[in-house]
Amino acid sequence: MLGASVLTMSSQAPAATPAPSNQPPSSTVGTIGMRLLDEPAATADDPRARLYLIDSLAPGAVIHRRIDVSNTASTTQHAVLYAAAASIAHGAFIGAVGPTANEISTWTSITPGAVNIPAGSTITANVTIAVPTDAAVGERYGAIWAEISTAASSPSDITQVNRVGIREYISVGAGAAPASNFTIDSMTAQRTGGGQPQVVALVHNSGGRALDMSGTLNLSDGPGGLRAGPFAATLGTTLSIGDTEAVTITLNKQLPAGPWTADLSLASGLLQRSAQATLMFPNSGSASPARVSTHSPWQRRLLLSGLGLALLAGTAGLLIALRSRRRATATAHRRPR
């Protein structure tokens, strides 16, 4: 959904001119929540597909999805359901304010468009996405919003508008969906103004789909052989196709400066990449970006298994050589003189 699991927006404005302002994401907004009920069979194992409406569609395709909208308030809430434009900029997925249109919002319809949800109840709405036959190839972004607002008793009163939504990532094109891919280009050790150590990784989206980053950092080989972690990456970084953005991991303030061996594992859905670097945290500000060695999890497993097999083969060869030498020595001792 929009945000970490749901993107929410709340606004306050005079009744005559309701103009929302962004607020931090949370799992609910006001008294309503939203969740996706369906996902394509092709993405059944992808955790992103359980949160967001993600699909790859050919021109002319029509799909149907169901969403639940819940009301946890003690009174009936009137919710308006609609699709709107969205974009990705500076590492953030941004749902447009109100029913702002783009291509995908005009392809998306929601039934019912408005509904009264009784206290403590949940309603199911149907989302239909119909791609025009002449739609150009490429990925589009949109948002499905459920919106509630308070009534203003006079023109001078403030109207409170709350929204909760689900992201749409729709790739248009014939055949298989474009492959996702990314690289971890560098890691930088730094400190915040308050002295908190952080690792900032620059990640480049080299594939054909937008990415939502998550991951962990582990530290080893620290002063006195210390180890630390795992530390979770700050969620919410979204990379558009071709973009390079920073993924930040905040560490414990008591952590020694180092040097440390930093092992970073990042993922977007089922796609995973890992990188390693040697880091030393400065007293303040940022150190120079560290050179990283990168490998995917399967490459790491292959490397480890290859080293293990080589070690076994070397050990076996050494044992065979020792046994052959012992047999030769024993035979020489038994020869008649």
Residue 21 — pLDDT band, cuts 50, 70, 90?
very low
Strand extents, DSSP E, 58-150: 62-71, 77-89, 92-95, 108-111, 114-117, 122-130, 138-149
**Average pLDDT for 69-95:** 93
Confidence at residue 154, expressed as pLDDT on a 0 to 100 scale: 60
**Average pLDDT for 96-113:** 93
- Alpha-carbon span 286 to 280, nearest angstrom: 10
Kindly tell me if the per-residue pLDDT of 22 is higher than 90: no
Confidence at residue 177, expressed as pLDDT on a 0 to 100 scale: 85
Q: What is the mean pLDDT of the chain?
A: 82
Confidence at residue 265, expressed as pLDDT on a 0 to 100 scale: 96
Closest CA to 23 of 95, 99, 100, 121: 95
Dihedral angle at the C-alpha atoms of 37, 43, 44, 47, nearest 10 degrees?
A: -80
- Alpha-carbon span 172 to 180, nearest angstrom: 15
Residue 19 — pLDDT band, cuts 50, 70, 90?
very low
Kindly tell me if the per-residue pLDDT of 223 is higher than 70: yes
- Please measure the distance between the N-terminal and C-terminal CA atoms of the chain and give it in whole angstroms: 89
State the burial class of residue 86 (Cβ atoms within 10 Å of its Cβ: 0-12, 13-18, 19+): buried
pLDDT in tens, 242-301: 999 999 999 999 999 999 999 999 999 999 999 999 999 999 999 999 989 976 444 444
**Average pLDDT for 132-158:** 84
Kindly tell me if the per-residue pLDDT of 169 is higher than 90: yes
Residues in contact with 167: Cβ distance below 8 Å, sequence separation at least 6, in sequence order: 1, 2, 7, 51, 52, 53, 86, 93, 95, 141, 142, 143
Confidence at residue 196, expressed as pLDDT on a 0 to 100 scale: 94
**Average pLDDT for 307-322:** 51
CATH, range 182-295: 2.60.40.10
Confidence at residue 330, expressed as pLDDT on a 0 to 100 scale: 53
Residues in contact with 38: Cβ distance below 8 Å, sequence separation at least 6, in sequence order: 64, 65, 66
- Alpha-carbon span 65 to 130, nearest angstrom: 12
Kindly tell me if the per-residue pLDDT of 88 is higher than 80: yes
Confidence at residue 131, expressed as pLDDT on a 0 to 100 scale: 97
Kindly tell me if the per-residue pLDDT of 241 is higher than 50: yes
* Alpha-carbon distances, residue 212 vs 49, 84, 270 (angstroms): 11, 20, 11
Kindly tell me if the per-residue pLDDT of 318 is higher than 70: no
User: What residue type is assigned to position 254 of the chain?
Assistant: Q
State the burial class of residue 133 (Cβ atoms within 10 Å of its Cβ: 0-12, 13-18, 19+): exposed
How many alpha carbons fall within 13 Å on the CB side of residue 292?
Answer: 24
Kindly tell me if the per-residue pLDDT of 143 is higher than 90: yes
- Alpha-carbon span 80 to 147, nearest angstrom: 5
Confidence at residue 151, expressed as pLDDT on a 0 to 100 scale: 64
More reliable by pLDDT, 17 or 86: 86
Whether the Cβ atoms of residue 290 and residue 190 lie closer than 8 Å to each other: no
Tell me which fold the domain 7-172 belongs to: Immunoglobulin-like (2.60.40)
Q: Tell me the three state secondary structure of residue 333.
A: helix
Whether the Cβ atoms of residue 171 and residue 240 lie closer than 8 Å to each other: no
Confidence at residue 140, expressed as pLDDT on a 0 to 100 scale: 95
| Entry pTM | 0.76
Closest CA to 263 of 319, 335, 184, 331: 184
Confidence at residue 41, expressed as pLDDT on a 0 to 100 scale: 75
Confidence at residue 37, expressed as pLDDT on a 0 to 100 scale: 93
Question: Side by side, which strands form the sheet with 108-111?
Answer: 32-36, 62-71, 122-130, 108-111
Confidence at residue 9, expressed as pLDDT on a 0 to 100 scale: 43
